[in-house]
Amino acid sequence: MADGTESESRKLLGRLREAMATDEAGQARLDRITHLIADSMGTEVCSIYLFRDAETLELCATEGLKPESVHQTRMRLGEGLVGRVAKSGKVVNTPDAPSAKGFRYMPETGEERFSSFLGIPVQRLGEKLGVLVVQSRVAREFSADEVYALEVVAMVLAEMAELGAFVGEGAALSPLHQKSAMFRGGTGQEGAAEGHVWLHEPRVVITNPIADDPHRELERLNEAIEELRVGVDRMLEMSQHGDKEQLQVLEAYRMFANSKGWMRRMEEDIARGLSAEAAVEKEQSQARARMEQVQDAYLRERLADLDDLSNRLLRILTGQGKQTGADLPADPILVARNIGPGDLLEYGRSLKGIVLEEGSVGSHAAIVARALAIPLVVHAERITTEALNGDHIMVDGDQGIVHLRPEDSVVTAFRDKIAMQADAQARYVSIRETPAVTLDGHRVNLVMNAGLMADLPSLESSGAEGVGLFRTELQFLVRNKMPKRSELVALYSRVLDAAKGKRVVFRTLDIGSDKVLPYMKPTDEPNPALGWRAIRVGLDKPGVMRMQLQALIRAAAGRPLTIMFPFVAQAEEYRAARAEVDKTVERERILGHKLPESLEIGAMLETPSLAFAPQKFFDEVGFLSIGGNDLKQFFFAADRENERVRRRYDTLNCSFLTFIENIVERCEQSGTQLSFCGEDAGRPIEAVCLAAMGIRTLSMRPASIGPVKSLLLRTNLEQLRQIITEGRHEGVQSVRPAVTEWFRQQG
């Protein structure tokens, strides 16, 4: 790039910095900047459009268009050339704007005189802020140097906007990070919470986007890059014996850290006049913009690696680590792009809620959040770019909605909801010791799900009659290496102690699919939910299963023990696993260890195939627990991680209820205990309908026991069963409308 061009760019940035340093109001500063850019670029027009809301751009300042059009000209996202730049995040450079695709004529601006058009997105780390436009009468395409120079200017404008340089009257000039915002995501864990934002990785603030001395900035960049490379090499050395996936990520880090292209682009940005920090963030912003356009999963992961590496480099340059000196608020709502189970457990029950940009309903974070009974919303896109530490935030895990800096009307309505839930919980305390017996005399056992020692106090406070599912994989997921048998013995023993004689159903290790152990070699499977997971891993890796079975038997120490195998798809898998139990019991007897007083061995019915197993299987299995979450996704062929399809299918669908009825009948014929475990067991209407179909044990999160019991006590199951039967005879797809209306009439 010519030195003269770089010099002109630095001059323009120097003039922009002078504009930033003035005490002018935001509008006056914007007006001055459009004049400076037009003058430096040699164009008749320079205009700045900013977002007034998520879908609308507003002309906020111009040099060359009619002054009266400022704050009057607006367009929707994607509308006209400006809207096209904003929507795509890509440059539009055309010598003949009126004939360009998407052109929209705006007579109030007087722009019909100008032929050439160059539009540059103003964005910061994926957050779209507006569009910078230059136009001229002469029909020409702007050169690559001119485009590049204006991209550098757009980067500085984004940083200036972040620092509040353009605050003024009107929605488009309102301060960033102060407006109310609502985010729609998915439900990871139900519940509602109000508190203040705690960012897991606080955003880096760049206060010096423009630099005087490019040589010094290059030195700073090179020093930071060297420190980054040394850090990546050190991580690689420490992870040589780690899993393949972790090594691949670190190798990608090393590749980017040594990328000549990445380095060259940042050096060019610095030569144009940006500081080292601003140059890094410019590249990071463009990587995020490209990430949005890429469909290929591998390329998206590599761009995400570059994004993470840029964050590390920015923290080195600015000295802004994760520890900012801010104190954790008394009511923290954790906000993060994503988070591992170990980090989440470190926060523990201090968190009131969790909001993630990524994650899924079956992710490690969701498993831990459910175990800790913390409301969780996943897929809340862009919340980390909008939220600041200490912001007021409300999380509705039931609806998958997050209110950031909510308005008074939202606060009032939300607090009313929380108060109603608190009142309901208070009412449920009065029936805590009351057996769940329906109006027509049917007894339903309500038990709870658990996975951590922290869950066990809920046995007493919720009124649960036992633990219908203890997830043993959590102790494996939160560690960097396989837990020792002695550690598992101690944990399982404490669980049985805390249960005080109530039945605890220990589910053996359920890993694979979305639950991959950090120290276990991952498998590259096109559909892991249908792949090598749960009992399949246990039977192929019998050493791990035997170690866990030994730990359970020793922890029981003469007490009753109940073990359940997950994801059994055919009878032979259960028999093979049962044989491992028998071998382990015999081995423990020979070693002189005290054997359990009684031993129940069961299976989770999570695949439709097991419902059609030979009757001999139903006769020999100790008990069955329907794993509703997996069973429903396989029954309807609808991935429960896919928001586009999972909500289309209803538990009260007549086909699904008929399928459940068939399982109940087979278990009744053989006298096999049957329970239902999953999200639907904790939803009152669904739970009572499952009871009406004949299921007499329901396993759910502790907070759901009160609401489910309350409805059971007020329900006649025989009458409800009749409503369901009538709906099936009528051929309706779902009995939900009829059931809901019947409950409404019952009061």
Active site residues per annotation = 364, 677
Token look-up 């002054």 returns 67
Our CA angle for 99, 103, 106, nearest 5°, is 120
367, 341 in Cβ contact below 8 A? Answer: yes
Measure CA 106 to chain center: 41
How many Cβ atoms from other residues are within 10 Å of residue 538's Cβ?
27
What are the phi and psi torsion angles at 93 (to 5°)? -130, 110
Between CA 443 and CA 698 the distance in angstroms is: 11
Between CA 570 and CA 589 the distance in angstroms is: 30
531, 254 in Cβ contact below 8 A? Answer: no
Kindly state the DSSP code that residue 528 receives in the 8-state scheme.
G
How many secondary structure helices (H) and strands (E) does the chain include? 28, 22
Q: How far is CA 271 from CA 3, 268, 599, 600, in A?
A: 9, 5, 74, 72
273, 7 in Cβ contact below 8 A? Answer: no
How many Cβ atoms from other residues are within 10 Å of residue 76's Cβ?
13
SS3 label, residue 675: strand
CB under 8 Å to 361, separation ≥6 — which residues? 186, 187, 188, 378, 640, 641
Between CA 388 and CA 405 the distance in angstroms is: 10
Reference 459, options 491, 494, 435, 432; nearest CA is: 432
Between CA 81 and CA 96 the distance in angstroms is: 12
SS3 label, residue 612: coil
How many Cβ atoms from other residues are within 10 Å of residue 443's Cβ?
10
What are the phi and psi torsion angles at 426 (to 5°)? -65, -40
Strands 192-199, 392-396: pairing is antiparallel
Structure tokens that stand for 602 in this block = 């069961």
Between CA 303 and CA 249 the distance in angstroms is: 11
Our CA angle for 540, 544, 547, nearest 5°, is 140
Structure tokens that stand for 414 in this block = 């939300």
Our CA angle for 746, 447, 665, nearest 5°, is 70
As a whole number of angstroms, the longest Cα–Cα distance in the chain is: 96
Kindly state the DSSP code that residue 222 receives in the 8-state scheme.
H
| SS3 labels along 427-473 | HHHCCCCCCCECCCCCECEEEEEECCHHHCCHHHHHCCCCEEEEECC
Kindly state the DSSP code that residue 167 receives in the 8-state scheme.
-
Structure tokens that stand for 44 in this block = 């008749």
Residue type (1 letter), 100: A
Between CA 105 and CA 81 the distance in angstroms is: 10
- The helix or strand, by DSSP H or E, that contains position 179, with its residue range, turns out to be none
